[in-house]
Amino acid sequence: MNRQNALLAYDPQSIASLLGTLIIGRRIELHPQVGSTNDLAWQAGRHGEPEGLVVLAEEQVAGRGRLGRRWIAPAGCCILCSVLLRPRFSADHAFYLTMAASLAIYRACKELDEGTGAGDGKPAAAVTIKWPNDLLVNGRKVAGVLCESEFSGKEWAFSVVGFGINVNLPAEQLGDLRSTATSLSIEFGRPIDRARLLARVLAELESLYLLLQSGQFGPVFAGWAAAVSTVGKSVQVLEPSGTLEGQAVRVEQDGALVLRLSDGTERRVLAGEVLHSTELASTVE
Ligand code: BTN
């Protein structure tokens, strides 16, 4: 951990003191090093832990991303977080949790932007969501979400909402990922207080979760859909079965991305890695 990140170190007490939530953050654990925070929250879920547990780590040695990928973040400068929740709404709506998580991170990052943009001569940063749940700032990824759920039949036992945010990660540590990934400190040109940022994300997540728990799915979908910058772009979607190319025309209530293909037909995509047209030139797959 470099000197600046040591100054921006966070601890459960400082995060709790900023929270003001009812459920999320009832208990906060911060570990120096773990395999994956999602695994620890999952084990707690299995052992009957009440919802609201927040598991944080300064470093993960087996961090997981979507689509079986690894999530790598240097120690001490990022947010690596998993939240245990016990949704009561239908498991058919599981995707709404992912929408809520990416929308919560989006809103917290937008607030940071408001402190950076107008007035100090710098243009405002473009904070958007790349379908389905990658947070982009100025077109590069700063955060990702991995929700994992335990069901028994149609019954939803619990969910772990995991997210990683590149907060105070210096450009040189991004290495080969620099063309597609970034950090908040790089984009906003200043160090970011992780405790404050995390508290904002968790507070937003709780208010969105409470909407879902009371059956109000519309506002969560509308907020997420308005933030998704994929719509209107030419995209490639890398699916397990192959690559699709088309124009992203809309997102639907179940989280699907609808593409218009070159033959004019529409295809719904429910999972996969999307590359925006702006990324295609700079990405070697
Ligand atoms: C992605 O964009 O692929 C999702 C990345 C999710 C990473 C976070 S970091 C905290 C939590 N623990 C994990 O092992 N993964 C998630």
Query: Does the C-beta of 63 come closer than 6 Å to ligand 1?
Result: yes
Pick from 38, 79, 177 the residue to mutate for probing ligand 1's pocket: most ligand atoms within 8 Å of its CB.
Answer: 38
CB distance 82 to ligand 1 below 6 Å: yes
pLDDT digits (tens, 9 = 90+) for 113-166: 776 544 455 667 899 999 999 999 999 999 999 999 998 877 899 999 999 999
Residue type, 233: K
Ligand 1 and 71: CB distance under 6 A: yes
273-276 β-sheet, strand order = 266-269, 257-260, 242-251, 234-239, 273-276
Residue 254 and residue 96 in contact, taking contact as beta carbons nearer than 8 Å: no
**Residue 38 token pair:** 């999602």
Q: What is the pLDDT of residue 242?
A: 86
How close is the Cα of 106 to the center of ligand 1, in Å?
Answer: 16
User: Residues near 280 by Cβ (< 8 Å), separated by ≥ 6?
Assistant: 236
- Atom 15 of ligand 1, residue of closest alpha carbon: 64
Q: How far apart are CA 18 and CA 5, in angstroms?
A: 20
Mean pLDDT across the chain: 91
- Tell how far the Cα of 82 is from the centroid of ligand 1, in angstroms: 8
Do the bridges between strand 257-260 and strand 134-137 make them parallel or antiparallel, or are there none, so unpaired?
unpaired
Q: 168: CA distance to ligand 1 center in Å?
A: 17
Task: Determine contact, residues 162/37, Cβ cutoff 8 Å.
Answer: yes
Nearest Cα to Cα of residue 110 among 83, 136, 131 = 136
**Surface-to-core class of residue 230, CB atoms within 10 Å of its CB (0-12 exposed, 13-18 middle, 19+ buried):** buried
pLDDT in tens, 80-92: 999 999 999 998 8
The answer to pTM > 0.85 is yes
Amino acid letter, residue 157? A
154: left (phi over 0), alpha (psi -120 to 50) or beta: alpha
Q: Report the pLDDT value the prediction gives residue 157, as an integer from 0 to 100.
A: 93
Q: What is the pLDDT of residue 8?
A: 74
- Residue 36: half-sphere exposure toward Cβ, Cα within 13 Å: 19
Q: Which residues of the chain have pLDDT under 70?
A: 1-7, 115-123, 278-285
Verify whether ligand 1 is closer than 6 Å to residue 66 (CB atom): yes
Cβ–ligand 1 distance for 38 under 6 Å, the answer yes
Give the C-alpha separation, 222 to 210, whole Å: 16
Q: Output DSSP code: residue 190.
A: S
Instruction: Name the helix (H) or strand (E) containing 9.
Output: none
Q: Are 268 and 255 in contact (CB under 8 A)?
A: no
Which structure tokens are listed for 92?
A: 């058919």
The verdict on the CB of residue 144 being under 6 Å from ligand 1 is yes
Tokens linked to 166? 């590149």
Question: In three state form, how does the secondary structure of 81-136 look?
Answer: EEEEECCCCCHHHCHHHHHHHHHHHHHHHHHHHHCCCCCCCCCCCCEEEECCCEEE
Q: How far apart are the first and last CA of the chain?
A: 31
